[in-house]
Amino acid sequence: MTLRQSLRLGSIAGIPVGLNWGLLVIAAFFTVNLAVGILPATAPSASAATYWFFALVGVVAFFGSILAHELGHSVVAQRNGIRVRAITLWLLGGVAELEREADDPGVEFRVAVAGPAVSVALAMLFGGLAYASLFLGAAVLAATLGYLALMNGILAVFNMIPAAPLDGGRVLAAALWKRSTNRHDARARAARAGELFGSLLLVVGLVGFLFGEGTLVMAILGLFLRSAATAERRRARSLEALSTASVEASMLPLVTPIARGITLVGLEAMSGGYPHPVAFPIRGAHGIDGVVASTAIDDTPSARRPNTVIDDLMVEWRELMHAHVNEPMSGVLTRAGEMGKHHVLVCDSLGRQLGYLPLDPALVPA
Ligand SMILES: [Zn+2]
C-alpha cells in the first residue's frame, strides 16, 4: 500500500522515513488526552506545564514506538532480500512499503511477526521503566511510561488479530500457504478474514457511537481495514486465476509479420482490426526483429496513434523466453523469474512459433 509522505523525516538503514499530515491530527488528540485526562488522573498534584511536557514527550515516544514496529518488519524483510521502499507514519499507525511479497511462507511469517515482537519488547521495557520510576517517586514520568507500555501492548495485540492486512493476517496467510502451497488462495482467505473483521469494527463502532458508548475512530478504522482487505482479496484471486491458467489460453496468437516503420493508424487501416487480441511479428531487414501485442496498440491513446510507429511498442525478439504451448503457467512463471524475463514466445513440439505471452511482472517471482 502506498501513502503519500507529506513530510520527509530522514532515513534509517537506507529506508526513507516520512509522515503523512493525518498523523498530526491524531498526535494533537493524543497529546490533549494525555495532558488534561490520563496524566492528571493517574499522577495528581503536578503543574499543568509538567503534564503538557510529559504529554508531548509521551506522544513523540509513542510514534517512535510505531516507527520501531515498522523498522522491525523492514529489517527482517531486507535480510530476506526484500527491499523496503519507505516507511510512512500516518493517522492509523505506520506502513512499511515492501517492494514485493515474500516468496516462501517462512519469510512471510518472519516479516509479519517482527513488528509485533518489537512492540512486545517495547511494552516490557516501558513497563519496567515505569515500575522503576514509581519506585523512585517520579509519578508523572511513571504514568507516561505506563501509558507507553500499555499503548505498545495494545499495538502488539491488535496487530496480531488474524485479519489481513493486519500482521496477524499475514501470519494466517503464511500458515495456510505452508499447508496448501497455494500462496494466492492463502492470501485471499486471510484478506477475507480482514474484510469480516473490518465490518465487525465498523458495525460495533457505529452502534457504539449511536448509543454514546463507542468511538467513531473504531468505525473509521473498520472501514479502512475492510476496503484494504477487499483490495488484497481481489488482487490475490486474480493472481491465482492467472497462475493456474494454461499458456495456450493466455497467449496472443502470432499473425502475419508486418514491416517496421508503419504507424499505428497505418496498421489499423491495413489489418482492418482483429476480433481477438493478437501479436504482430515485426520484420526488419534481416528477419524478425521483435513482436508487438495488439493490446499494447489498444492501450495507446488515439491522439498519439498517427505519430507512433510500431517499432516504438516492439519487444525485441532476443528478450523473449521460449515456452511450450502445453507447459503449465506456474512453471513458465518460475523459469521467467530465474531468467529475469517478462516476455514469452510460445512454440509447439515441432518448434513452430504460435504465440506471444507478455507476463504480468507482479506474477513473476523476483
Ligand atoms: Zn505491523
* 223-276 residue pLDDT tens: 999 999 998 898 888 888 877 778 888 899 999 899 998 888 888 887 777 778
Record the pTM.
0.73
Which option is the CATH number for 248-358: 3.40.1350, 3.10.580, 1.10.8, 3.40.50?
3.10.580
From ligand 1's centre to the CA of 182, what distance in Å? 23
Check if 316 is active-site.
no
pLDDT for res 230: 92
Q: Determine which one of 70, 97, 101, 195 is catalytic.
A: 70
Best CA proximity match to 244, nearest among 187, 180, 329, 365:
329
List of the chain residues with pLDDT < 70? 1-6, 91-92, 213-214, 365-366
Best CA proximity match to 240, nearest among 184, 186, 187:
184
From ligand 1's centre to the CA of 210, what distance in Å? 31
From ligand 1's centre to the CA of 156, what distance in Å? 8
pLDDT for res 1: 46
Question: If you write DSSP's letter for every residue of 199-264 in order, what string do you get?
Answer: HHHHHHHHHHHHTTSS-HHHHHHHHHHHHHHHHHHHHHHHHHHHHHSBHHHHSEEB-S-EETT-BH
From ligand 1's centre to the CA of 174, what distance in Å? 15
* 288-321 residue pLDDT tens: 999 999 888 888 888 888 889 999 999 998 899 9
From ligand 1's centre to the CA of 69, what distance in Å? 6
Report yes or no: 300 and 313 within 8 Å, Cβ to Cβ.
Answer: yes
**Residues across the chain:** 366
Question: If you write DSSP's letter for every residue of 28-89 in order, what string do you get?
Answer: HHHHHIIIIIIHHHHS-S--HHHHHHHHHHHHHHHHHHHHHHHHHHHHHHHHTT--EEEEEE
* Burial (Cβ within 10 Å: 0-12, 13-18, ≥19) of residue 35: buried
From ligand 1's centre to the CA of 13, what distance in Å? 18
Q: Hey, where are the domains in the chain? A: 7-160, 181-244, 248-358
Best CA proximity match to 119, nearest among 68, 58, 64:
68
